[in-house]
Structure 1
Amino acid sequence: MADRDGRPIVGPVDLAVPSGGVAAVMGPSGGGKTSAVLAALDALPEGLRRVGGRVSWNGSVIRPGRSARRWRREHAGLLGQDPASDLHPLRTVTGLLLESPFDGSRAEHREAAHRILRRLGLDPAQVARRRPHELSGGQAQRVALARAVVGDPALLVLDEPTSGLDPEALERVLQVLGERRGAPGRATIVITHDRDFAERVADSVVALGDTPPERPGRRGPLLRVAEPGRPAALELRSLAVAAPGGGTVLLEGVDLGVRPGELVALTGPSGSGKSTLLRAVAGLHPSWTGSVSVAGQEVPHRVEERGRALLRAVQFVGQDPRAALHPSHRVGSALARPARVLLGSSRDQARESAVSLAAEVGLPAEALHRTPARLSGGQRQRAAIARALAAQPGVLLADEVTSALDGRTARHVLELLDALRADRGLAVLLATHDPAVAARADRVLRIERGGLVEAEAAVGAGRSTGGVPEATAVAAPGEGSPTRPERCR
């Protein structure tokens, strides 16, 4: 496979999946895993093309072009790296699943759709009429997976299906894949950097790149303790957050202070409100009450009402990096813009900053000249992180920022955040399902019964709070809430 200038991207790759088999394609972020599989499906994005090799299905050669597209529609189900972006924003969950090819009546299709939702841990009575923006990241991931498998396709291709999922949801995905294993006429390809997942699900593994991915390591944090009387970098008081679309209250009575230089990890099951809390603090989800203060200054609910200083001070990196990057702008321009708009840098200064940030997050220099569609999912994630850091924020809100990264790259990004915490006092509030990521935090908080509780003794536990209020966890009223709030240290 090559780009439009004829430069080789990946290959040659040999991959054979027997009937009833599951094959895993592994390798580092940006190593060409997704591109290799999309080349086999003749589904490459603009700017890339297959330049050699042969693809066959049950002994018949599939020729590129119209024949491949027709075969793909009839036989393949695909879950992409950015599942939320693949869901039509105006269709309900049921409507999305009914779009998939299905051999049966519409009533049977609807019944099968609701059945697969339940197998993936989603109650059709609660989510069937919701639209994608009313789902959490993990729920959207499972809806996209349900959409890919509801018609029981002969070939199922899943690209990073475990990113952003809590352990319970992950087990449900494994069960669904386990039911396909050994089924006559069914083949599955899983693209992943998660070695544990590959070992559990796959019969064979194709490794691209230099070496198999490593698990993220743990390193002691570089904690800057706040000076006495210095305001919290981020402070939440009596915060209550409703679910997307309003109605159900996900979190209530949340008090939390994050010190300059501190990393606080936020954990909890998919749909519990982690992403919604971060989006509320970022001004992207206005359905909340209470107060949010940054460096002692209370901030408006909506991001549109925040001035340049506050926009610079609080930066958000979401689960869907594609949504944060303009599809027609090159990555270099995206990284330079915050420096020009929020910092007042000159064009040359902003360009130099973009080059430096790209290197710091591990993006190759040529990625700066590409649009987001020409990057891998892991590269898009790193670009979104670099874009947020370009503003030199005081608070970084990070939602599953390592889920699309291989272990080595994830460790590199986390160590960069450690350095910024030490050197600049960057405060980080991070939502994660990954225990190895949470283990690097100074405090680990878990969402339970609509409130925050201390999950475990974290690395930074017991250090001076420097005059900053500690987190107070309050469970939702009427759901076993304690008579006194527990203190999260």
Structure 2
Amino acid sequence: MPEGLDVADLVVENTEGLPIIGPVDLHFPDGAVTAVMGASGSGKTSALLAAIDALPPGLVRRSGHVHWQGIRVPRGRVGRRWRLATVGILGQDPASDLHPLRSVASLVADALPRGPRRKHTRTVRAALTDLGLDTDALWPRRPHEISGGQAQRVALARAVVADPEILLLDEPTSGLDPTTVELVVRAIDGRRGRSGRTTVVITHDREFAHRVADHHITLGTPAEAGRAGPAVAHRRADETPVLELEHLRVTTPAGLPLIDDVTLTVHPGEALAILGPSGSGKSTLLRSIAGLHPSASGTMTLDRAPLSPRLRTRTRDTLRSVQFITQDPAGALNPAHRISTVLARPSMVLRGLSRTQARSEVPQLLERVGLPADLAHARPTRLSGGQRQRVAIARALAARPRLLLADEVTSSLDAASAHRVLDLLDTLRAEEGLAVVMVTHDRTVADRADHVLTLDPGQRSPAPGPQSGVGARCARKEPCATSP
């Protein structure tokens, strides 16, 4: 049993027996900060409250096993005592969680175990001060006498004051100004890396999640998952990676280095975003993985099997498993072929479907990327740039890939279409375990990813001269590394 908080086969229903979430498996590592994200209604809060046996009336945990540091967590009265001693909670509506007749001082002190009053006073004052509150002014006040932002920070102080083993923060930055958000970040960072301490942050704020979290879990709604309960786009560290690169080095045809050294791992359901300025080699790295620009050295594996650096030597199953969406969809689509032919061909060639079977999938493929079914009869020249981009995405998905390589996949799309495509990829990641590696200049697109690899022209290899290759750096705690 891994250290940290481990939840297995969790199912939550309402009192009428309708599914709310599950079955899902969740793991929150010891010493780490984990962000739980997902659309409204995806069950983020319910899943975590169910794990600590603190569901509100109307919801019931039908099944599930919870372990903390390898020890089974009991339910019922014994479980409640465990929760009070072990878990600090900041709820979604912190002001309503504060008793209206208690002073700020007593509300925060109440979370501490019994001990000397003078020591408690010092501890409470320190917790309030660390969150930017005027302790002397707020000390005697009651919740209705302070602002909403102050109430949220008082509730956070109450959650962290006892230094709980498990800290659960539900939307901790909602309604806070940037300065106060920095104080929340500092409070979270103070727990990172400490043995026996696990922090879970439920948030809609992807920028905040990627800033503070070492690990990410994404929950999808039952409708997105197409079955009872949400899917989880989070994978255990011991699961077989879809893609692994080891010390990959890419050069020009003349042998000049383009990308010096990249090592990374992408697991099922994960997304890796590749960032960097123009000319840093982002698209070249993607083309190398696709087999279109063979690497000079290093190794690539797909599902732990060697991945040939050359497209022409890859098996049909490998060609199906790795699909590449280029930066120029117009050049990638044969202008003489109707869209129905474009979308049916991968299913016939790579999956062995008959022409009739492949064509029957075309309307659904178009629908998934937000295009009308009657476009099947059109040719690419009749389509807009954004429509061609979505056709290119649909063609890649027709192969049912294990790994999707996407070069500026939303660059030709309006905001609504881009959002729909990214939502589709998130659903496929959660539902089918699709792994995604995407090149982008758009930070909002990168925020959807679990990991970020930045190609940096300023980080050069030890080789001298102006032609040294572009180095790479990774976001904190991400599964990629480079040589110095």
TM-score of the two chains, using structure 2 as the length reference: 0.49
Greater strand fraction, Structure 1 or Structure 2: 2
Which is bigger in relative contact order (C-alpha 8 A, separation at least 6)? 1
TM-score of the two chains, using structure 1 as the length reference: 0.48
Of the two, which has the highest radius of gyration? 2
